[in-house]
A and B are shown apart, each in its own frame.
Chain A
Amino acid sequence: QKEVEQDPGPLSVPEGAIVSLNCTYSNSAFQYFMWYRQYSRKGPELLMYTYSSGNKEDGRFTAQVDKSSKYISLFIRDSQPSDSATYLCAMRKTSYDKVIFGPGTSLSVIP
């Protein structure tokens, strides 16, 4: 079993839709959670980060962590064609530990 799992998609939604992207993980020691966005043929860039459980909002993006279920989510409101990318979840146990990345979910937002 992989430590971090994501549905690879592709996920295709119309412009303006609410998008939900999810990751599950197996190691309860993970405490730091991140979402990276990767455009085609580019390197990933950090989108959001959270520590432990709870929600964090940044503009149209909301990151949610449920440690009891070992489940994290990224919600995108009013999705735009410019949101079309692959979204990678990432997590680590401590601030000094290596980052473990999920395989990514490919999202297409259709105008």
Chain B
Amino acid sequence: NAGVTQTPKFQVLKTGQSMTLQCAQDMNHNSMYWYRQDPGMGLRLIYYSASEGTTDKGEVPNGYNVSRLNKREFSLRLESAAPSQTSVYFCASSKSIPGTGIDTQYFGPGTRLTVL
């Protein structure tokens, strides 16, 4: 049981290049998320998918697109990378804790992206 996996772990891009960050979970969770984490800013939600076939914008969606390929996989695409997109990107999936109304979010190890 690998949990949430992300590839690649590190990436350096030049301004204008495109790339896709891959995420997969093997916990049979319906909901999946993409966050970015910047110093002093905390985790900010880029996009999320409440279930297979649906995606919705989060707090900072500009410059990104997502695909919920199936229940396991949720990818994040940067079409034309900009230096402002230099960040650590985390994918997460979640399940509800029965009777609490609280989701437990399980995070992947992150992708460290630098855009020059």
Contact = CB atoms under 8 A, between A and B. Distances in A.
Give chain A's interface residue range (CB within 8 Å of chain B): 20 to 34
A101 interface: yes
A98 B109 contact: no
A87 B43 CA distance: 12
Given A43-B110, A51-B100, A88-B42, A99 B105 contact: yes
State the majority secondary structure of interface residues on B.
strand
A8 B110 CA distance: 21
Given A34-B102, A51-B101, A51-B102, A43 B42 contact: no
A21 B50 CA distance: 31
Contact of A8 (B40, B44, B105): B40
14 contacts: A43-B90, A43-B92, A44-B43, A44-B107, A45-B106, A49-B100, A51-B100, A51-B102, A94-B101, A95-B96, A95-B102, A98-B58, A98-B59, A101-B43
A45 B43 contact: no
Contacts of B109: 41-43
